[in-house]
Amino acid sequence: MRGLVVLLTLACFATAQHQALIDYLERRLLAIEDRISLWHEQTTRYASELRELKQQMVSQLENLDKEKEALRMNLDGVGTRVDRVERELDYLETQNGAQPCVDVDDKLIEQQVTLVKEKHKGKYLKLSECSDMISNIKAMKILKRVGGAKGSWSKDTSMGSMKVYIFNGTDDDTIHEFSSVQDFTRSPGLSVAKTVKLPSAWKGTGHVVYNNHAYYINQAQEVMVVKFDMRSSSVTDSAVFPVQDHIPVYGLTPETLIDLAVDEEGLWAIYATHQNEKHVSLAKMDANSLDIEQMWDTNCPRENAEAAFVICGTLYVVYNTQQPGRSHLQCVFDVNDMVSNEDAPLVYFPKRYGAHTSLKYNPQEHLLYAWDDGYQILYKLIMKKKLEI
């Protein structure tokens, strides 16, 4: 009997130890499961944070690429402006000379003066073989009267273009566009025209439209030539005209400091300064960069001048004769020295109203687009070769 009790006691003790071991193992497993769950949560959180960090890094890298490209474009623009400023400073230095406090070699000064003289008086390098000049006026056609007493109008001088542009007045920022001369003639006024808004106002009547770009003069702070793309409605370039002490180029149109013109050889600027105040000056411009290629001081007087234009590298200045209904072409200046003012024929314009405020030549048509006291007029020209004059 005692043996049985001992066996039972041993069995109970073994069972208790076994239960304790099971309980201990269960607690350890629960602790391990808790740690595994914690590790899983932490791993999931770290993975989520890494994804967010990756997205942020990708976004920042994209922004850096954009900023890099913008910075590169800005640097390119700054480089272009620096080049232009250097050219203008070089020009001003040759005009103003060296300061007294700076020692400058006399030979260097002579070289600079020589370069300027060559730029002004050197033989002009022709861009075309054009040698036509005006012999007479074949016909005049008065199309209509719109706008104020002063203004300018012309057709785009690029090949194949039919569009006509109206610059009404001498100080505005809106161009009126018609699809053709016929459309302009049939229209009751300017209200049906397409309007093109410029970012700055023009001044005077010296504007042209050339190869789908409007070139106009802005005088907000400095006298600037502005190049405006008519297709994208944006300014593609602008440049300060490198001349000091501007004065009106025509005695009868004081609002116009620079009159831009287009002929078979490209873009020209007709202007005047205090240094040569009695005469008209001429400059050949690069239509793409607006750089000045060459400049001339002509012998054409400003007094009583109405307007001017250029044909085949020859400047024509039109004067008011003070006779009712008639003005005439008195002064001719040929940059190629093929014809002199004395050799050129005297041409009378059958003007009927006030005074021409602009004359714009179209080399594709051999027509002059004239603005006379608000009337839009076309002059058809009879041309001759310069060697035949």
pLDDT digits (tens, 9 = 90+) for 28-62: 888 888 888 888 888 888 888 888 888 888 888 88
- Rounded CA gap, 65 and 78, in Å? 20
Tell me the two tokens of residue 198. Answer: 């410029």
354 has a pLDDT exceeding 90:
no
Last residue of a domain, one of 32, 63, 96: 96
- Rounded CA gap, 141 and 152, in Å? 16
Per the rule left: phi > 0, alpha: psi between -120 and 50, beta: everything else, 280 is beta
Q: Are residues 72 and 122 part of one domain?
A: no
pLDDT score at 82: 65
As a whole number, mean pLDDT of residues 159-164 equals 86
Q: Are residues 71 and 126 part of one domain?
A: no
pLDDT score at 116: 45
Asked whether residue 82 is assigned to any structural domain, the reply reads yes
Reported as a single tens digit per residue, the pLDDT across 110-123 is: 444 444 445 455 55
Q: Are residues 213 and 316 part of one domain?
A: yes
Tell me the two tokens of residue 363. Answer: 């080399």
184 has a pLDDT exceeding 70:
yes
- Rounded CA gap, 189 and 96, in Å? 50
Q: Are residues 289 and 228 part of one domain?
A: yes
Asked whether residue 177 is assigned to any structural domain, the reply reads yes
**Strand partners for 137:** 381
Higher pLDDT, 15 or 80: 15
Asked whether residue 110 is assigned to any structural domain, the reply reads no
Per the structure, how many domains does the chain have?
A: 2
Q: Are residues 129 and 87 part of one domain?
A: no
Q: Are residues 123 and 69 part of one domain?
A: no
What's the whole-model pTM score? 0.69
Q: Shortest CA distance to 334 belongs to which of 128, 132, 114?
A: 132
Q: Are residues 162 and 24 part of one domain?
A: no
166 has a pLDDT exceeding 80:
yes
Task: Name every residue whose Cβ is closer than 8 Å to that of residue 92 and which is 6 or more positions away in sequence.
Answer: 242, 244
Asked whether residue 62 is assigned to any structural domain, the reply reads yes
Asked whether residue 32 is assigned to any structural domain, the reply reads yes
Q: Are residues 157 and 61 part of one domain?
A: no
Asked whether residue 103 is assigned to any structural domain, the reply reads no
Asked whether residue 227 is assigned to any structural domain, the reply reads yes
Tell me, what CATH number does 316's domain have?
A: 2.115.10
In which band, very low, low, confident or very high, does the pLDDT at 108 lie, cut at 50, 70 and 90?
very low
Q: Are residues 348 and 204 part of one domain?
A: yes
Tell me the two tokens of residue 1. Answer: 């009997």
How many CB atoms are closer than 10 A to CB 54?
10
Q: Are residues 181 and 55 part of one domain?
A: no
pLDDT score at 277: 87
In angstroms, the first-to-last Cα distance of the chain is 158
96 has a pLDDT exceeding 50:
no
Q: Work out whether the CA dihedral 241, 246, 252, 255 comes out positive or negative.
A: positive
* Amino acid identity, position 161: S
Q: Are residues 152 and 27 part of one domain?
A: no
pLDDT score at 284: 96
Domain range holding 22? 1-96
Tell me the two tokens of residue 255. Answer: 């609002």
- Rounded CA gap, 288 and 269, in Å? 14
Q: Are residues 287 and 167 part of one domain?
A: yes
Asked whether residue 148 is assigned to any structural domain, the reply reads yes
